Structures are given as C-alpha cells and as structure tokens.
Amino acid sequence: MRVHILGICGTFMGGLAVMAKRLGHTVTGSDAGVYPPMSTQLEAEGIELMQGYSASNLAIQPDMVVIGNALSRGNEEVEAVLNSGLPYTSGAQWLAEHVLQHRWVLAVAGTHGKTTSSSMLAWILEYAGLKPGFLIGGVPLNFGISARLGESDFFVIEADEYDTAFFDKRSKFIHYRPKTCVINNLEFDHADIFDDLDAIKRQFHHLVRTVPNNGLLITPFDDANVDDVIERGCWTPVEKISKKLLSGAVWSADNIATGEGEFDVCYLGNNIGRIRWSLSGQHNVSNALGAIAAAAHAGVEPGVAVNALTSFQNVKRRMEVRAVINNITLYDDFAHHPTAIASTLAGLRGKVGEQRIIAVLEPRSNTMKMGVHKETLLPSLADSDTTFIYMPDEIDWQVDIGRYSTVKVFKTMEELVGAVMAEIRPNDHVLFMSNGGFGGIHKAIENLLSD
C-alpha cells in the first residue's frame, strides 16, 4: 500500500511513518517544515519528503492519505484530497487499525508527565526482555528513537487528549483502546480545543469507557479531577498511586531524599526496592510509580522495574543538560504549563540547593499564547532566582511583574540573549523552558559562553 502522510514531520506522525515503512508500505509525506532532525531520520528510512502542502504532491496516487491534526480545511493539499475522493484517515485511527489491533496496549494519559511516564514504562518492559513497541511524543534517551513496532504483543503509547483531526474532534486517545491505562493527573489545558475543564473530563471519561474490565486503570491518590472522571462511571479495577505511604494507595513512595534523586517504592505498604537516579522532582516520583504499576499489570516483577528505572536516562528536552561551560549548567525543558514549570523548578532547586537558578521562559503553547495561565504563571516561577520571559509582539497579553522584582520581560531575542549573558556567572543553573525551538537560544548561549 502507498501511504501518504500530511504533517509527517511531527513527532507523532513521523513515528507513525517509520512504523508504516517497517510494516512494508511505501511511505511518502509532506509538511510545511521539512528540516532536521526529523527530516534526516525519515529520509534514512527511505521515506520521500515533500516541502510544503500542494495538490501536486498527490500525483503519486496514494492508496491512503493520513492527515495530521495540525491540518485544517483550506489547506491546499487537504482540499485536493477531498476533491479527488482519495481515501483518508487520521493518524490515531490508522495506528489503531494497523498497529494496535490484537496487541496489549499500555496507554499513559494526563495533562503532565505523559512523555516521561510512557518512556519509563517502555524502558521497564525492554529491561525485562519484553521488547515492546512504542510511540512516544519525545525521544527516550534509552532508545534514541520515538517509535518502533516492537517484537511482542505489548505496545506503549503516549495517549494525548488533543483532538484527532479536522474531521474527528474526539481526543486521539479514544482510538487506542488500552488494556492498561495510566492517568497521571488532570488540569485545564489546550484552551484552543476545550472550552473548559469539564469538556476535558468528558473526553477522559470516554477513554475510561474503552478500558475492559479485565484491564487496569492507574490513577493518583490525590487528584480530585481524576476522581471526578472515575466517579462518572468505571467498569475497570483501579489502583491508586501516592507519593506518601497512605492506606488507600496500592503503590507509594517513602523516604524520598532531598532533591528526589532516590526514594523507596512500596507495594501495599511493603518496601520492594529503592530507586537511585539522576532525575529530580516530585512529579518524577509519581511518573515512576505509574510506570511500575503499569508494568506489573503486564507481568513485570516490581523489583525488576525498580532496577530498570535506576538505569533510566530520561527523555530528550526533559531537564536535558545541554552543556556545562565554565561551571555554568544549561538545561533544556519542555515545561509550558504553570504546574509543570513549578514542579520542574522545585526539582531543580532540591538538586542544586542554594546555587542560583535562572529561568528563561517562552510562553509558546496555544494555551499560553491565549493568556489562559497569566495569573498563575509568575507564582509558578518562585523557585528561580531570576526569571527572563520572552514576550514578542504577537503575544497580545502582558504579565504584571509588579512585586516580582526578579522577573524581566523581553520582546526581542537579541535583548533576551544579551540579558542572559549579562546575568549568568559560574555555578549558575540556566533553565530554558519552551515547547518549541525557542529561536535557537540554547545554542546561542552555548556559543557565547564558549567564546
């Protein structure tokens, strides 16, 4: 079959393209931004890429067109697909029909931590010799790739609540039908898609409805929004996880060290092992517990899972150390929601103690650009000593820095780079936070420090 993918250079669609190729299909694709590293990865797989969206891209006469959720009506190539009568589907639907059928799907959902948790889970299964397939919205450093078919029935997927396609406004995770499902947490996000928190809860309950009664739901002990979703109706056993030893939690953590670099994992109150790793933050303690619980449902002994996570290398762009120059450490992180920002900074603070943290933030997500989180953004940055926020003219709201004397706002990248360079000194920790490329500021600062 000749499969043509619109929006092929996104992490999800690029991973899907690789799996389609490995299944024996002839794969092509188009995207508005065909550039490394995704373009080189796809070309190495023998996948032909087309720059930009055009009706002429369809001259290859594909048997199926897979349309990414970033594409909408009015796009020239989308209109050509519809006008020509070519068969088309969404990425999530294609994945469900061609990859996930008859497999034990382990899905990780939630507002925060999906990429990290699913990466942990895939690594635990790999460490245990189960050779899972996976599709993750990031690059787990233990694997160096974001997707693979695997060699067993197990398939780990990052279950995103974003909408499926312009013709299917359900959340993507509705298509996956997991047997094991982790819901990390639930907050209001994606304001460009959802009107309010209840609209998100409704989609999560649709997900809960798809988990069989011989499956397992894994949820946090202390998240009222997740509890509300479960209370709307649940037909599947539920196991609770907690960062504290609590009687109602099946999986919990104990003796968490300062900086959260190590902690005990407990099952029904009994210690089963201690994780020691380079990760920081209470959120990663929760991510680990969810992954261990999901792996246990798939048959992995908890002690094996603990050993696996001791060698877990995190995910690219999740507190990734980009460089250490003149005793200045530069980090790259994907955090773009106040809760994630606060958790990331708290973890780094616990790790570095009194050393200075300089946070450099780009409010780039659609929800951030809309100003939905403007009241909670500055309080989330409390653990940084100095904060620089990039607010170019296209962002039409302003942060009220008022009493926040350590916060400065910049409209141009040149001014921002200059301010960072003027501020940093040896032993500082500089944390860049954006869900995009941030104008290449990481490399700019690296080069200037090296010079």
Instruction: Give 165's strand partners.
Output: 168
391: domain range? 320-450
CA 326 vs CA 262, 338, 356: distances in Å? 28, 30, 15
Q: How many CB atoms lie within 10 A of CB 168?
A: 17
Region of poorest pLDDT, from 31-35, 145-149, 231-235, 414-418: 31-35
Say if residue 184 is in the same domain as residue 117.
yes
Region of poorest pLDDT, from 2-16, 65-79, 402-416: 402-416
Where does the pLDDT of residue 191 fall: very low under 50, low under 70, confident under 90, or very high at 90 and above?
Answer: low
pLDDT tens-digit readout, 38-94: 788 888 889 999 999 999 999 999 999 999 999 999 999 999 999 999 999 999 999
Over residues 22-45, mean pLDDT: 87
pLDDT tens-digit readout, 260-306: 689 999 999 999 999 999 887 788 899 999 999 999 999 999 999 99
CATH of the domain at 55: 3.40.50.720
| Cis ω before 37 (30° cut-off from 0) | yes
pLDDT tens-digit readout, 158-187: 999 999 999 999 999 999 999 999 999 998
Q: Is residue 143 part of a domain?
A: yes
Q: Is residue 96 part of a domain?
A: no
Q: Which of 256, 288, 310 is the last residue of a domain?
A: 310
Q: Which pLDDT does position 71 carry in this prediction?
A: 95
DSSP assignments along 121-168, one per residue: HHHHHHHTT---EEE-SS-BTTTSSSEE--SSSEEEEE---SEEETTE
Taking a C-beta distance cutoff of 8 angstroms, is the pair 382, 359 a contact?
no
Position of tokens 């088309």? 88
Above 80 in pLDDT, residue 397?
no
Above 80 in pLDDT, residue 16?
yes
What's the Rg (C-alpha) of the chain? Answer: 22
Q: How many CB atoms lie within 10 A of CB 387?
A: 27
- What is the distance between the alpha carbons of residues 290 and 268, in angstroms, rounded to a whole number? 14
Strands 147-148, 88-90: pairing kind: unpaired
Taking a C-beta distance cutoff of 8 angstroms, is the pair 139, 9 a contact?
no
Q: Which pLDDT does position 362 carry in this prediction?
A: 87
- Tell me the two tokens of residue 397: 């709201």
Per-chain mean pLDDT for the chain: 90
Q: Which residue has the higher pLDDT, 4 or 346?
A: 4
Q: Which pLDDT does position 50 carry in this prediction?
A: 95
- What is the distance between the alpha carbons of residues 377 and 365, in angstroms, rounded to a whole number? 13
Over residues 238-253, mean pLDDT: 92
CATH of the domain at 337: 3.90.190.20
CA 261 vs CA 116, 257, 282, 390, 397: distances in Å? 16, 6, 10, 31, 38
Q: Which pLDDT does position 2 carry in this prediction?
A: 97
Q: Which pLDDT does position 41 carry in this prediction?
A: 81
Q: Is residue 97 part of a domain?
A: no
Say if residue 146 is in the same domain as residue 172.
yes
pTM value is 0.85
Q: Which pLDDT does position 370 carry in this prediction?
A: 65
Q: Is 399 helix (H, G, I), strand (E, B) or coil?
A: coil
Taking a C-beta distance cutoff of 8 angstroms, is the pair 432, 331 a contact?
yes
Q: Which pLDDT does position 343 carry in this prediction?
A: 79
Q: Which pLDDT does position 260 carry in this prediction?
A: 64
Q: Which of 269, 288, 310 is the last residue of a domain?
A: 310
Taking a C-beta distance cutoff of 8 angstroms, is the pair 367, 192 a contact?
yes
Q: Which of 248, 283, 310 is the last residue of a domain?
A: 310
The DSSP element (H or E) to which 198 belongs, if any, is helix 197-209
Q: Is 40 helix (H, G, I), strand (E, B) or coil?
A: helix
- What is the distance between the alpha carbons of residues 204 and 209, in angstroms, rounded to a whole number? 9
pLDDT tens-digit readout, 130-158: 999 999 988 898 998 889 999 999 999 99
- What is the distance between the alpha carbons of residues 404 and 379, in angstroms, rounded to a whole number? 9
Residue 256 has φ and ψ, to the nearest 5°, of: -75, 125
Q: Which residue has the higher pLDDT, 95 or 43?
A: 95
Number of domains in the chain: 3
Say if residue 119 is in the same domain as residue 211.
yes
CA 11 vs CA 14, 37, 129, 188, 230: distances in Å? 5, 11, 26, 23, 30
CATH of the domain at 297: 3.40.1190.10
